[in-house]
């Protein structure tokens, strides 16, 4: 389904649409549940027949044959319960898996600003806890609702054939109970939604604390983190308080109804017996059917609770699925092919959230194969400009073109395939070195990965490790040094071999010797490619064809290293400052 279809359809219809791919399992589940309900309705009728006909007429053989038949039917009922439990849960899990797949796929399509605004813990909660409760609703919901309704209607029909006045009383009382259920369900649904929001907050706090555990230890702030965890844990303890209150009101109301129904039936039935309008056998049959109401009513109770929980999660799922990515491909957008690397930034302005202006009327033209360094003070807009070129965000005004084609007119995937990015904050997956390097080209051979590692000056380090390329890097690469992580990320780009490179402080975590080696490798890689280098360490950009200085969101200077030194502007000041600091360090 598209985002527009998610917006147009109601949540219940969206939920039911996921049943379509697994309708065979669903029908098996429903058929078996229906047979179980039929068996449950049969026993009181058999009991009535035995008391009316078989025992008084001394039909003992028939009586025992019927009892054996009922025993066999209950053996069948046990088998049907197994089918319902196994295949029903299988059906629910498959529905959950389909929903999770669509949700994850949609999350991957979301733009960078979506992740700027949403915490990882909240999104994890929506991918796990919320969808687990949808599994229970998918499995038990239709089954419990159907069997409960069939059992109640079947019992009312039989009771009506025995004593219509008494059956009428039961029929009047059931809608009253259903009205109470609906009122309670609404309050339970509201409380469940609030509980899920609080639980999502707990998940994000725990995720944050575990991700920052090394920082906490480095600052000896375990007590601070324990305090945060305890605060989150207290929220957890009270997160479902209102939901449990609503659930308690519901269960107490249900128990009152079931108990009072028995009293009413026995009381009125006794009255009709006194008036000779009913006999003891029919009264016993009635009480058996009333007892058979208990299971359906309890199922309806569970269904209401399940529905409240599941729909709270469903609504949170639908909310995300109805959210459009802010950066989308145009209809009929063509792929960017045969890229030469000509980049034109034409009067670009950009503001985060529409009000935090970062760039102002920036214009820049980069020739194919040219290396351009972008320097300037922190917060000046260097990284933002380089995030606009691969279209991680859309410009507020102006345009950015690659080979004369506006990046908004081509597919995002083709842009990303033709641009290689190495950032200062390197992310490695919790996998082996081999798989982390091969991420740059998923179908790469071992020989290609080795060659990329050599060109990134990480090969010798890898071969010195016990497991070599099969070495596990840890969560976010924590088992590697900063320089090793950076070089693994650089090896990915060597493997990807894109026509455009964006190096955002790509050598910042390397020592001077390794940095010099990597710089030579970058110089080789940059030959014939368009390269944008964001750097604070100006010693790494002397070989650039041009140096662009950005401050306060505007380009202040542009020229070669020597030209900018002669101008005596921001670049010259940065250069003198870094040289002075280097000399001071040597002293």
CATH number for the domain that contains residue 16: 1.20.1560.10
- Reference 351, options 406, 391, 393; nearest CA is 393
Asked whether residue 332 is assigned to any structural domain, the reply reads: no
Residues 298 and 366 in one domain: no
Residues 243 and 373 in one domain: no
**3-class state of residue 352 by DSSP:** strand
Residues 401 and 444 in one domain: yes
Residues 21 and 75 in one domain: yes
d(CA 503, CA 490): 9
Residues 65 and 174 in one domain: yes
Q: How many residues does the chain have?
A: 587
Asked whether residue 338 is assigned to any structural domain, the reply reads: no
Asked whether residue 329 is assigned to any structural domain, the reply reads: no
Asked whether residue 280 is assigned to any structural domain, the reply reads: yes
d(CA 548, CA 370): 13
d(CA 500, CA 419): 5
| pLDDT for the residue numbered 377 | 78
Which of 287, 321, 355 finishes a domain?
321
Q: Which helix (H) or strand (E) holds 358?
A: strand 356-366
Residue 521 sits at φ, ψ, to 5 deg, of -65, -40
All residues at 6 or more sequence positions from 90 whose CB lies less than 8 Å from its CB, including other chains: 25
**3-class state of residue 58 by DSSP:** coil
d(CA 12, CA 16): 6
| pLDDT for the residue numbered 514 | 66
Residues 463 and 556 in one domain: yes
pLDDT in tens, the chain (587 residues): 777 788 888 888 888 888 888 888 888 888 888 888 888 878 777 777 777 777 777 787 888 887 888 888 889 988 988 888 888 888 888 888 888 888 888 888 888 778 777 777 677 777 777 777 777 788 777 877 888 888 888 877 877 777 788 778 878 877 777 777 777 766 776 777 677 667 666 766 676 676 666 667 666 666 777 777 777 777 767 767 777 777 777 777 777 777 777 787 788 888 888 878 777 777 777 777 777 767 777 777 777 767 777 887 888 888 888 888 888 888 888 888 888 889 999 998 988 876 778 888 889 999 998 889 888 877 788 888 888 898 888 888 899 999 989 989 999 889 888 888 887 777 788 888 888 888 888 888 898 889 888 888 888 888 888 888 888 887 777 788 777 888 888 888 888 888 898 888 766 656 667 667 667 767 767 777 898 988 776 766 767 888 888 888 888 888 887 888 888 877 788 777 766 655 554 44
Q: What CATH number should be reported for the domain holding residue 546?
A: 3.40.50.300
Tally of domains within the chain: 2
d(CA 224, CA 229): 9
d(CA 425, CA 177): 60
Residues 363 and 298 in one domain: no
Asked whether residue 521 is assigned to any structural domain, the reply reads: yes
Q: Which domain holds residue 490?
A: 343-586
Residues 472 and 520 in one domain: yes
Residues 290 and 199 in one domain: yes
Residue 500 sits at φ, ψ, to 5 deg, of -125, 130
Asked whether residue 398 is assigned to any structural domain, the reply reads: yes
Q: Report DSSP letters for 224-242, one per residue.
A: HHHHHHHHHHHHHHHHTHH
Residue 549 sits at φ, ψ, to 5 deg, of -105, 125
pLDDT, tens only, 22-64: 888 888 888 888 888 888 878 777 777 777 777 777 787 888 8
| pLDDT for the residue numbered 401 | 92
Asked whether residue 227 is assigned to any structural domain, the reply reads: yes
Cβ–Cβ under 8 Å, residues 64 and 70: no
Asked whether residue 330 is assigned to any structural domain, the reply reads: no
**3-class state of residue 26 by DSSP:** helix
d(CA 535, CA 517): 17
Residue 318 sits at φ, ψ, to 5 deg, of -65, -35
Residues 255 and 352 in one domain: no
Residues 366 and 468 in one domain: yes
Strand-pair category, 356-366 with 397-402: unpaired
Residues 16 and 127 in one domain: yes
Q: What is the pTM of this model?
A: 0.69
């Amino acid at each position: 389904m598209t985002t527009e279809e998610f917006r147009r359809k109601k949540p219940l219809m969206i939920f039911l649409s996921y049943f379509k791919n697994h309708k065979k399992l669903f029908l098996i589940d429903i058929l078996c549940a229906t047979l179980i309900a039929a068996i449950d309705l049969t026993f009181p009728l058999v009991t009535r027949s035995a008391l009316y006909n078989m025992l008084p007429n001394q039909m003992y053989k028939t009586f025992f044959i019927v009892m054996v038949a009922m025993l066999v039917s209950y053996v069948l009922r046990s088998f049907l319960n197994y089918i319902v439990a196994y295949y029903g849960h299988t059906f629910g899990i498959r529905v959950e898996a389909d929903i999770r797949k669509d949700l994850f796929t949609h999350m991957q399509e979301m733009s960078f600003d979506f992740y700027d605004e949403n915490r990882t813990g909240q999104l994890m909660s929506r991918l796990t806890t919320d969808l687990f409760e949808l599994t229970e609703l998918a499995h038990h919901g239709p089954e419990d609702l159907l069997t409960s309704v069939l059992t109640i209607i079947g019992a009312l029909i039989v009771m009506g054939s025995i004593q219509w006045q008494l059956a009428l009383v039961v029929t009047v009382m059931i809608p009253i109970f259903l009205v109470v259920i609906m009122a309670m369900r609404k309050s339970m649904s509201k409380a469940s939604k609030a509980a899920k929001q609080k639980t999502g907050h707990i998940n994000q706090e725990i995720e944050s604390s575990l991700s920052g555990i090394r920082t906490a230890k480095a600052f000896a702030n375990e007590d601070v983190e324990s305090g945060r965890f305890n605060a989150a844990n207290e929220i957890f303890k009270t997160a479902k308080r209102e939901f449990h209150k609503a659930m308690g009101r519901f269960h107490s109301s249900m128990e009152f109804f079931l108990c009072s129904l028995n009293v009413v039936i026995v009381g009125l039935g006794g009255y009709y017996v006194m008036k000779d309008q009913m006999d003891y056998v029919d009264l016993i049959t009635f009480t058996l059917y009333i007892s058979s109401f208990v299971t359906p009513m309890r199922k309806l109770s569970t269904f209401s609770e399940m529905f409240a929980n599941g729909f709270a999660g469903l609504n949170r799922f639908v909310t995300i699925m109805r959210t459009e990515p802010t950066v989308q491909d145009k209809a009929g957008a063509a792929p960017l092919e045969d890229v030469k690397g000509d980049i034109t930034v034409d009067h670009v302005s950009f503001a985060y959230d529409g009000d935090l202006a970062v760039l102002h009327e920036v214009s820049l033209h980069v020739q194919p194969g040219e290396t351009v360094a972008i320097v300037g003070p922190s917060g000046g807009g260097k990284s933002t400009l380089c995030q606009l070129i691969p279209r991680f965000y859309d410009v507020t005004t102006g345009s950015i073109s690659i080979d004369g084609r506006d990046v908004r007119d081509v597919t995002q995937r083709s842009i990303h395939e033709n641009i290689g990015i190495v950032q200062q904050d390197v992310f490695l997956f919790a996998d082996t070195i081999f798989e982390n390097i091969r991420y740059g080209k998923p179908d790469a051979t071992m020989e290609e990965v080795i060659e990329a590692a050599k060109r990134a000056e990480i090969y010798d380090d890898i071969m010195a490790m016990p497991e070599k390329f099969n070495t596990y890097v840890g969560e976010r690469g924590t088992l590697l040094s900063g320089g090793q992580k950076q070089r693994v990320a650089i090896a990915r780009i060597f493997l990807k071999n894109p026509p455009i490179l964006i190096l955002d402080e790509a050598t910042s975590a390397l020592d001077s010797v390794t940095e010099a080696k990597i710089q030579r490798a970058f110089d080789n890689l940059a030959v014939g490619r368009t390269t944008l280098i964001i750097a604070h360490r100006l010693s790494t950009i002397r070989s650039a064809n041009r140096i662009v200085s950005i401050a306060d969101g505007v380009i202040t200077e542009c020229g070669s290293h020597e030209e900018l030194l002669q101008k005596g502007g921001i670049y010259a000041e940065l250069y003198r400052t870094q040289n002075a600091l280097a000399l001071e360090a040597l002293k």
